[in-house]
Amino acid sequence: MEPMAILSIFILAVFVGFEVVSKVSSTLHTPLMSGANAIHGVILVGAIIVADHSKTNLELGLSVAAIILATINMVGGFVVTDRMLEMFKGKAK
Amino acid sequence: MSRTVYDLIGLAAGIAFILALKGLSHPRTARRGNLIGAFGATLATLVVFFYVSPESSLPLNNLGWILGAIAVGLAIGVPAARKVAMTQMPQLVALFNGVGGGAAALVAIVEYLSLGTKASTAVVIFTVFTVIVGCVSFSGSIVTFLKLQELMTTRPVIFPAGRVVIAATLIAVIGVGGWVVAALGTTPLLVLAGLSLLFGVLFVLPVGGADVPIVISLLNAFTGLTVAASGYVLDSVLLIIAGTLVGASGTILTRLMAEAMGRSLFGTLFGAFTAKPQESGGASEERPVRSGSSDDVAILLNYARRVVIVPGFGLAVAQAQHTVRELADLMISKGIEVAYGIHPVAGRMPGHMNVLLAEANVPYDQLEEMDEINPTFSQTDVAIVIGANDVVNPAAETVPGCPIYGMPILKVSNASNVIFLKRSMRPGFAGIENELLYDPKTMLLFGDAKASLTKVVSALKAL
């Protein structure tokens, strides 16, 4: 992809990332961190792509490890965030 | 599936992540936001099974391995997330973050191995970045996990010439990174990974227990950036967007957290290098304290007009939330005004205590934040501190140079009487002696928080 296009995407995403969380109350810091943590678990997509590319056993072994770790990150992250937020259900004024 | 469709679905997932972060920033929409994020991630994962790259054919190579690995990940991740006690949640988040960083580093290593000499310089530079930061995030998160799980000391670990060792490791990491870019080869890359892992450990060791949440948040932002960098290597817009979003929002969140705790980010990360070794509390433990019985506490409460309960991590560990509520209800029925004073970082992380109390059905309107409750302590007859220590420690205001100096505290010392429910005289998570324990108006009730509270409740009923 064009370096300029990538740079533009990157810079715009930085601004969006700054903007969306700039006014969060301290009560939500933990769930928000946990949710953001789950989102970077999407590296699973990258792990699957490299597993597909793998030609040697070493590469395959490392990508399988990457898939396991990324799945734990992504799925575990969303589940634990949901459990945290469940506690707030119906309690907010 | 064509590249265009694939990219459009990737874009949809990226938008889902933006909406997720937006939703998570407000109490009412938080849960929905998380679900939107989960939806986006699932969508992105499913799509990759139908399109990888123009050269790849379907079905994916090594499909069995891929599905098997996902199944293993699910089998580990889901039960861990479901079963973890709410009190241990922060370290689980740290662990999840660490494995994400590790995954990103592995992805970069594999892609590097398979590209070989075909890799362009830009790709190699991004690979080097991903390996360094991913490994730092992985090993650093493991150390934060060990600290939070109290498998190792929660005090800052400062070793002789620590500053020199850390600086030397960092220089070595950067040097080897340059070597990888210049020479291209598997060995330099593995050396780089090893050194980066070491640097992650050294980087987190000097951080004191109270500051660990800030470091977790920072490492979370780091992992986001590594995901963005591997997105560049793999030519995936989705990974670039998702990683950058997490990197940016994580950076802001880290700053907000540091502000809520009254810490400068710089001080948190490098404070341990400059702090003087603390005097150990050994001598002061000999000093007299006033300890009372549950009956003494009940009598004190019975004649109070206003009582403020300050819950801490000890309350959660003892699973005493329900007993606390029972005590609060009993006092209210006797016409005593009751409120809970919640410190922003009560528990182990910002907002952790709110989660724990909500679990015990404590009415939301009795929970007051620090800024609301602090001016009222002077009209409060009794402040009951249950399993909390650092968040009420006046040293944060009076002892410059102590690890929590500058952290805003709950000013329970302004109340007419202070009751501490503690298991022992052991200092809090930050490892600092609390002068308030020796104050003449302080009474200590030793024992497990739940057992003590149950006794107080029955004593109060009898009055």
Domain ranges of chain A: 31-93
The residues of B carrying an active-site annotation are 390
pLDDT for residue B225 is more than 70:
yes
User: Considering only alpha carbons, which residue of chain A is nearest residue B220?
Assistant: A37
Whether B115 and B162 have beta carbons less than 8 Å apart is answered as: no
For helices A43-53 and B30-48, angle between their N-to-C axes, nearest 10 degrees = 10
User: Considering only alpha carbons, which residue of chain A is nearest residue B84?
Assistant: A80
B343: helix, strand or coil: coil
Whether A73 and B100 have beta carbons less than 8 Å apart is answered as: yes
> Is the CB of A42 less than 8 angstroms away from the CB of B73?
no
Element (H, E) at B382: strand B382-386
Query: Token pair 């206003």 is at which residue?
Result: B306
Please tell me which of the candidates B25, B52, B93 has its beta carbon nearest to residue A28.
B25
Nearest to B406, CA basis, from B223, B282, B265? B265
Whether A46 and B231 have beta carbons less than 8 Å apart is answered as: yes
B382-386 and B417-422 strand pairing = parallel
| Torsions phi, psi for A90 (to 5 deg) | 70, 0
For helices B121-148 and B162-183, angle between their N-to-C axes, nearest 10 degrees = 150
What the block records as the tokens of B180 is: 């990888």
Q: What is the pTM of this model?
A: 0.80
B290-462 domain in CATH 3.20.20.100? no
ipTM: 0.92
Please tell me which of the candidates A20, A50, A91 has its beta carbon nearest to residue B358.
A91
| pLDDT tens digits, B158-188 | 777 777 888 888 888 888 888 888 877 788 8
B189 or B431, greater pLDDT? B189
CA distance B428 to chain A (A): 21
> Is the CB of B246 less than 8 angstroms away from the CB of A78?
no
Give the highest mean pLDDT range of A65-69, B250-254, B281-285, B302-306.
A65-69
Please tell me which of the candidates A43, A67, A83 has its beta carbon nearest to residue B69.
A67
C-alpha span between B110 and B452 (Å, rounded):
56
Domain ranges of chain B: 88-277, 290-462
Contact residues on chain B for A13, CB-CB shorter than 8 A: 228, 240-241, 244-245, 248
> Is the CB of B60 less than 8 angstroms away from the CB of A52?
yes
CA distance B28 to chain A (A): 7
Contact residues on chain A for B112, CB-CB shorter than 8 A: none
pLDDT band at A93 (very low <50, low <70, confident <90, very high): very low
Q: Give the 3-state secondary structure percentages of chain A, helix then strand then coil, rounded to 5.
A: 80, 0, 20
> Is the CB of B244 less than 8 angstroms away from the CB of A58?
no
How far, CA to CA in Å, does B59 sit from each of A67, B66, B239? 17, 11, 22
How far, CA to CA in Å, does B399 sit from each of A69, B6, B395, B434? 43, 58, 5, 11
Residue pairs between chains A and B whose CB atoms are closer than 8 Å: 377
Nearest to A38, CA basis, from B33, B88, B15? B33
Element (H, E) at B53: none
User: Considering only alpha carbons, which residue of chain B is nearest residue A86?
Assistant: B31
B109 or A25, greater pLDDT? B109
Query: How many other CB atoms are there within 10 angstroms of residue B310's CB atom?
Result: 29
B41 or B62, greater pLDDT? B41
pLDDT band at B136 (very low <50, low <70, confident <90, very high): very high
Query: How many other CB atoms are there within 10 angstroms of residue B309's CB atom?
Result: 26
> Is the CB of B76 less than 8 angstroms away from the CB of A84?
no
How far, CA to CA in Å, does A45 sit from each of A69, B2, B156, B230? 12, 17, 37, 11
Q: Stretch B435-441: mean pLDDT, rounded?
A: 84
Contact residues on chain B for A65, CB-CB shorter than 8 A: 69, 106
Please tell me which of the candidates A35, A46, A68 has its beta carbon nearest to residue B37.
A35
Element (H, E) at B120: none
Give the highest mean pLDDT range of A55-64, B252-261, B265-274, B347-356.
A55-64
Q: Stretch B214-221: mean pLDDT, rounded?
A: 90
CB within 8 Å of B194: residues ≥ 6 apart = none
> Is the CB of B61 less than 8 angstroms away from the CB of A53?
yes
> Is the CB of B100 less than 8 angstroms away from the CB of A76?
no
